[in-house]
Chains A and B, each alone.
Chain A
Amino acid sequence: MTGYVVRRLLDLVFVLFGVSVLVFLMLRLIPGDAVMIMLGANTDITPDRVEALRRSLGLHLPLHEQYWQWLTGVLRGDLGRSIWTGRPVLDEIVARLPVTLQITGLALATAIVASFPIGVLSASLRGGTADTVVRIVAILGLTLPSFWVGVLMLYFASTYLPQWPTIGYVPFASDPWGNLSRMVLPVIAVALPMIAGLSRILRSSLLDVLSLDYIRTGRAKGLARRTLLYKHALRNAMIPVVTVIGVQVGYLLSGVVVIEQVFAIPGLGRLVIGGISERNYPLVQGVILVVTAVFVFVNLLVDLAYAWIDPRVEYA
């Protein structure tokens, strides 16, 4: 296991290096002069200002020196400065990160908790028509656009539950109830496709496991259905579910970026979209880099958890 962990960590370093190169190149690949494009919306540009921004971004250096300067900055926690507010990009991200992590975490928990009963229940519906209906419903759930579900929920909540606080965000520390009640709708909206995905996988793997010999043996020796299902079958059936959680978190993050726009939640999604519309490239680069790094770490944790749960995983 130690060897496996070390190798996965080396992979991680390599992937993060590649990610950093791509994110670094973003600013340099913009057709035309990135500095002029960034300042374009401003009327009071002076040649001094242009030169100052160019220098602060390190654009006067040769490419490899630029990368080196940028990377050493990033490793020290310096993601540059937001070109409009002048605040360090890292500060802007740190202020927003908890918001996005909270929605993502709550949605992940909701999806995992909800998909178990749904998966188990749908596994008990078997045979011709039931199979077809379960599959169609699962695919419908998978393809539900979460931003549309969000908009519809916003409509129904404002029409029928006008007291319910639907949009915006308040920190949990200052108003726990206000925070959680505003989380309900966006969390449901982004969790739905994941619930569909996870319960579909749980159902099919549960059906596979239930047809195995050791389950028949268990039944033959008189084990109660419940014991058989929950103690023997479900644990093995969970393995394929765990393996896809890492990938699913990626979809979840994508959903959260969009849902933040629907519910006016000041998270990283709104930060990055705002950054693009005002051509604040250091900010955009910073958000992409940080969120991708978080995602890569989550994937590592899922892989390690998987290796730990399933002793059959080969580390070779």
Chain B
Amino acid sequence: MRRFFRRLIRNRIGFIGFVLCIVVLTAAAFAPRLATHDPLRQSIRERLQGPSAAHYLGTDNFGRDVYSRVLHGYRISLTTALGAVVLATLAGGAAGLAAAYAGGWVDRVIMRLMDILLAFPIILLAIGVLAVLGPGSVNTGLAIGIVYTPIFARLARGPALTVLSWDYVAAARALGAGAPRIVVRHVLPNIAAPLMVQVTLSLSTAILVEASLSFLGLGTQPPTPSLGLMLSDSRDFLLLSPWTSVFSGLAILLASFGFNLFGDGLRDLLDPALRNAAA
């Protein structure tokens, strides 16, 4: 673990990403403490202000403090994105491992189902799921989770097939190890690295998808502060005061950018093929 961190610091991209992720996660986790105002409190007299000492990022059309709303928005965005990716990792990972282990028709049926899900453009599948479930942040998490499931299924299946063909798995089987033991003890540790990288990169894109869906009005519902919705609402007074648009979008970018950089750095660190090439 220590060696890992030392290498992370030396990998500049990964390190910048790591720092950004920590900043964003801290903002989300401690939003109630870091916020200077109640994110829902309106103050008509203080509408549409630019950044100031009283309101770091200015105020919106209801006089609500944008800085406090961004912090609370991070909570919703990151929780939703994280929930979606965890769901996709568990469901997709399980499906991919089951397909690899069972082989034959089970493999074919599972992977064909995944192909069908992959056939939809991301946002349309999410919109379809939300049309069925209704809008809201929990349903958005579910929708993004479903959309991302096939990515993880494919990612888990490929390397799992390779590992399952190795001799030591045959040896474990000969010693009487059952399917759960082989998958958990022998296959999982071998596919953990690419899975970790994909989880981080997927978080980056899930943040963007969540923001898009909220922007379209299908995600988090008002008055709960959400970054996509803030950006969408701020368009109505864009020419009067562009600050809310600038900062809510910048907040989305910062989070997505951070996780993507971190994932990119992780790939350098965890991919043994690249690591040897670099060494």
Question: Are the C-beta atoms of B127 and A272 separated by less than 8 Å?
Answer: yes
Per-position contact with A for B1-35: 1 when CB-CB < 8 Å, else 0?
00000000000110010000000000000000000
A136 located at the interface, meaning its Cβ lies under 8 Å from any Cβ of chain B in the complex: yes
Question: Are the C-beta atoms of A284 and B131 separated by less than 8 Å?
Answer: yes
Min C-beta distance of B140 to chain A, whole Å: 13
Q: Which residue of B lies closest to A276 (CB)?
A: B131
A292 located at the interface, meaning its Cβ lies under 8 Å from any Cβ of chain B in the complex: yes
Interface centre among A19, A22, A139, A154 (most CB of B within 10 A): A139
Interface size on A, residues (CB 8 A): 50
Contacts of B256 in A (CB 8 A): 143, 145
Contacts of A142 in B (CB 8 A): 260
Contacts of A14 in B (CB 8 A): 112
Of the candidates A18, A136, A151, A291, the one whose C-beta lies within 8 Å of that of B124 is A291
Of the candidates A139, A151, A284, A299, the one whose C-beta lies within 8 Å of that of B260 is A139
Question: Are the C-beta atoms of B119 and A292 separated by less than 8 Å?
Answer: yes
A212 located at the interface, meaning its Cβ lies under 8 Å from any Cβ of chain B in the complex: no
CA distance A144 to B250 in the complex (A): 9
A240 located at the interface, meaning its Cβ lies under 8 Å from any Cβ of chain B in the complex: no
> Which of A59-67, A214-222, A246-254 lies at the interface?
A246-254
Per-position contact with B for A104-142: 1 when CB-CB < 8 Å, else 0?
000000000000000000000000000010011001101
Question: Are the C-beta atoms of B132 and A26 separated by less than 8 Å?
Answer: yes
Of the candidates B124, B133, B246, the one whose C-beta lies within 8 Å of that of A288 is B124
Q: DSSP class of B's interface residues: helix, strand, loop or mixed? A: helix
CA distance A151 to B231 in the complex (A): 9
Contacts of B113 in A (CB 8 A): 18
Per-position contact with B for A273-308: 1 when CB-CB < 8 Å, else 0?
100110001001001100110011001000000000
A97 located at the interface, meaning its Cβ lies under 8 Å from any Cβ of chain B in the complex: no
CA distance A22 to B119 in the complex (A): 11
Contacts of B215 in A (CB 8 A): 147, 258, 261
Contact (A145, B253) CB under 8 Å given A155-B245, A158-B239, A291-B121: yes
Contacts of B209 in A (CB 8 A): 254
Contacts of B67 in A (CB 8 A): none
Min C-beta distance of A9 to chain B, whole Å: 15
CA distance A295 to B124 in the complex (A): 11
Min C-beta distance of A82 to chain B, whole Å: 15
Question: Are the C-beta atoms of B121 and A295 separated by less than 8 Å?
Answer: yes
Q: Which residue of A lies closest to B204 (CB)?
A: A143
Contacts of B260 in A (CB 8 A): 139, 142-143
Contacts of A11 in B (CB 8 A): 115
Question: Are the C-beta atoms of A136 and B217 separated by less than 8 Å?
Answer: no
CA distance A155 to B120 in the complex (A): 33
Contacts of A155 in B (CB 8 A): 238-239, 242, 245
Question: Are the C-beta atoms of A135 and B13 separated by less than 8 Å?
Answer: yes
Question: Are the C-beta atoms of A254 and B122 separated by less than 8 Å?
Answer: yes
Question: Are the C-beta atoms of B231 and A19 separated by less than 8 Å?
Answer: no
Question: Are the C-beta atoms of A18 and B216 separated by less than 8 Å?
Answer: no
Question: Are the C-beta atoms of A292 and B13 separated by less than 8 Å?
Answer: no
Question: Are the C-beta atoms of B212 and A145 separated by less than 8 Å?
Answer: yes
> Which residues of B does A touch, CB under 8 Å?
12-13, 16, 112-113, 115-116, 119-125, 127-128, 130-133, 204, 208-209, 211-212, 215-218, 231-232, 234-235, 238-239, 242, 245-246, 249-250, 252-253, 256-257, 260-261, 264
Q: Can you list 11 residue pairs at the A/B interface with Cβ under 8 Å?
A: A31-B133, A132-B12, A135-B13, A148-B250, A151-B238, A251-B122, A253-B121, A284-B128, A287-B124, A295-B120, A299-B119
